[in-house]
Amino acid sequence: MAVKIRLQRHGKKNFAFFHIVVADSRAPRDGRFIEQIGSYNPNTNPATIILDADKALAWLNVGAQPTLTARRILSYEGVLLRKHLQGGVAKGALTQEQADAKFAAWKAAQDAKIGSKISGLKNEAIEKAKAAKAAEAKVNEARAEALAKKKAEAEEAARVAEAEEAAAEEAAVEAEAPAVEEAPAAEESAE
């Protein structure tokens, strides 16, 4: 029986997550499996990988073959490096302490790399938020200027209308005033 370490799809359409399983190669992708050794969620950034590295290493040591994607996940988590180092210990090329030290150094570098990516994503999100806030402030300032300009134009138009009304009233008063003065003059001439 050929045993594979592979991914088993779960989740909804366009939002899948995967279980990492050990299964018979003849079993359907989402069907029967021997053991579940972890999960993989590519929807987060960085992708969330939960893996029982000891079980994965045990299955690799007894001959389970990972698929290409599963191999990348195992490599990312350091399981393949541990298998390689265990091979060196078995051949006598290095001691268990040396192998553990090499793995610990690799794991520290990997954790630092992941941490820098997470902090970079947070900084990028903060910068985007600052840029969005600045853009919004600029738009609000432009709107405030436009409203102030519109208000000033409306006030100016109101002043002009008042001035025109006042001029019209003065013209009407002046037109009525000479007629009133002419009337008494006409009465005096009649006497």
Domain residues for the domain of 78 are: 3-84
Same domain, 19 and 78: yes
Question: Domain with 53 in it: what CATH number?
Answer: 3.30.1320.10
10-residue block means of pLDDT along the chain (191 residues)? 90 93 88 91 91 93 93 93 91 90 92 90 91 92 90 89 84 69 57 57
- Helix (H, G, I), strand (E, B), or coil: what is residue 38? strand
At residue 177, the pLDDT reads 63
Q: What is the distance, to the nearest Å, from the Cα of residue 9 to the centroid of all Cα atoms in its chain?
A: 25
CB 70 within 8 A of CB 49: no
Extract the tokens encoding 135: 């853009």
Same domain, 80 and 122: no
Asked if residue 155 belongs to a domain, the reply is yes
Asked if residue 182 belongs to a domain, the reply is no
At residue 186, the pLDDT reads 53
> How far is the C-alpha of 8 from the C-alpha of 110, rounded, in Å?
26
> How far is the C-alpha of 41 from the C-alpha of 45, rounded, in Å?
9
At residue 185, the pLDDT reads 56
The stretches of 20-95 forming alpha helices (DSSP H) are: 53-61, 68-77, 79-91
Asked if residue 11 belongs to a domain, the reply is yes
Domain count, the chain: 2
Asked if residue 161 belongs to a domain, the reply is yes
Same domain, 80 and 11: yes
Extract the tokens encoding 144: 């405030």
Asked if residue 170 belongs to a domain, the reply is yes
Asked if residue 80 belongs to a domain, the reply is yes
Asked if residue 135 belongs to a domain, the reply is yes
Nearest to 21 by CA among 43, 47, 12, 31: 31
CB 4 within 8 A of CB 67: yes
CB 34 within 8 A of CB 22: yes
Give the burial class of 68: count Cβ atoms within 10 A of its Cβ; 0-12 exposed, 13-18 middle, 19 or more buried.
Answer: exposed
Same domain, 69 and 127: no
Asked if residue 99 belongs to a domain, the reply is no
At residue 163, the pLDDT reads 85
Same domain, 77 and 127: no
